[in-house]
Amino acid sequence: MATSLHPNLTVVKSRAFDTLFTKIRDVETNSGDFVHYSKRAMRLLAEEAAAHLPTSPQAVTTPTNAIYNGHLSILDTNPDGVCAVSIVRAGDSLLECVREIAPSVRVGKMWIQRNESSADKEAVHSCTKLPKGVKDMHVLLLDPMLATGGSACAALSTLIKEYDVAEENIVFANVISCPEGLEFVAQHYPRIKIVTCWIDDCLNEDKYIMPGLGDYGDRFFNTV
């Protein structure tokens, strides 16, 4: 679904999100419940993001001896051709859900944090670990929150410019995003695909998503 915010944006449609987001936004929700409800949302997101990877035709015989002409994802036919890249730390929560649906997927990690002492909250990239041959793979880039877009663009720059991953072979999955972040990524990387569960209203003056849900990594890993 292309929108003015990004030409290759898909917003996952599920009536379940109303309940799930009510729980994960609530400041009174404890860490255990946050993990429970956010993983339910992330499982839906992981399935939708995976559906944006290449597929190939597959005819199967049903128990009624009928032929069904369907498709299989590259995750099913060639999981070595896909790398799930987590933007540490919060991205590891979403990585868990991706590996539940694709246990054999290759995994990469990027250590990128935004500088909280800076007014611009710019991204600081400290380390990358990716499998050999990633330039020939399709990449699922994982980070639950897209705020300013700084961390996402730092990760995308590394993948595309340093590791030669094709821009059109990247699917960026996030739980919650905002217009400013989507537009920022669109300015720099319009050919990637973005899959999100929710678009919030805006960033506040401190560069936090509003109404938002707090620090995703802190709440998921109980380090508040």
Residue that the structure tokens 């694709």 belong to: 102
% the chain with pLDDT above 70: 95
3 in any annotated domain:
no
Its domain, for residue 158, covers 9-220
pLDDT score of 121 more than 70: no
**Total count of domains within the chain:** 1
| Per-residue pLDDT, 159 | 97
173 neighbors 43 (Cβ within 8 angstroms)? no
Residue that the structure tokens 């300013």 belong to: 148
201 in any annotated domain:
yes
* Strands 170-177, 138-142: pairing kind: parallel
CA dist., res. 198 & res. 78, Å (int): 30
| pLDDT tens profile 186-218 | 999 999 999 999 999 999 999 999 999 999 999
2 in any annotated domain:
no
Q: What integer is the mean pLDDT of 42-49?
A: 98
pLDDT score of 2 more than 60: no
1 in any annotated domain:
no
| pLDDT tens profile 129-175 | 999 999 999 999 999 999 999 999 999 999 999 999 999 999 999 99
Residue that the structure tokens 């992330």 belong to: 42
Residue that the structure tokens 């990524």 belong to: 185
pLDDT score of 119 more than 50: yes
166 in any annotated domain:
yes
98 neighbors 172 (Cβ within 8 angstroms)? no
CATH of the domain at 26: 3.40.50.2020
- Share the mean pLDDT of the chain: 94
Query: Crossing angle, helix 179-188 and helix 150-157, to 10 degrees?
Result: 20
